[in-house]
Amino acid sequence: MPTKVYMHWNYFLALEADLEFLSRYIELTEDNYDVYSTELIKILFAACSGIDAVTKSFCEEFGTNDDYSKLGMRYDTLKKNMNLFSEDVHLHKYELTIKPFEDWTNAKCPNWWTSYNNVKHNLTTNYHQGNLRNCVSAIAGLFLISLEYYCHDLIVDEEGEKHEFYFPKEYLSLVLSETKLLRLSNEFYKEE
């Protein structure tokens, strides 16, 4: 088991529970992707704040740059070091599949991140961007990066050299068993 404190993972689990509760009022379907509300904005802000924190922690631990102050500055390190960067996230109960980092390039952050910043900096004009699509995508992004952060570690050998280590599928399966809504592809789950 890794020695890291699970604060980012627990933060994700709390937001996933918020999304699950919200699903009692807004069905999590593509038909409702444009629905927006104060509660969705609250969840979007919380998810993006979590992404900001965990991506910065990840990059500071695994990257080589001196400045990771903005999400765009973290792209190269995340893309290079994240095994799950291009994975799909499934909400099987709702038959939704999300690729939260699909539209992220070195020159452009994901659409949901741009929307988050738009709402944050001008709520009056951009309130409608605090919608279900952006909220679910941000939580899916938080899911992937939090999972990666805890399943990816550095081991320092006797000479002080750092070596990357990725925890086995059995460990990954154990961590993934805690989620209620979001899942990776079935190949990541230990067969009973």
pLDDT at 99: 95
User: What residue type is assigned to position 147 of the chain?
Assistant: L
CA atoms within 13 A on the CB side of 112: 31
Residue 44 falls inside a structural domain? yes
Report, as an integer, the average pLDDT of 176-191. Answer: 78
Report pLDDT for 134: 98
The domain in which residue 70 lies consists of 7-184
Instruction: Report if residue 75 sits inside a domain.
Output: yes
Rounded distance between C-alpha atoms, residue 114 and residue 20, angstroms? 24
The verdict on residue 189 lying in a domain is no
* 78 C-beta neighbours (distance < 10 Å), count: 21
Query: Is residue 2 a part of any domain in this protein?
Result: no
pLDDT digits (tens, 9 = 90+) for 53-83: 999 988 888 887 778 888 888 888 888 888 7
Question: For the segment 125-168, what is each residue's pLDDT rounded down to a tens digit?
Answer: 999 999 999 999 999 999 999 888 877 765 555 666 655 655 55
Is 38 within the bounds of a domain?
A: yes
Q: Which residues contact 44 (CB under 8 A, 6 or more apart)?
A: 112, 115, 116, 119, 130, 134, 135, 138
Distance CA 24, CA 87 (A): 27
Query: What pTM did the predictor assign?
Result: 0.88
Q: How many domains does the chain have?
A: 1
In a domain, 105, yes or no: yes
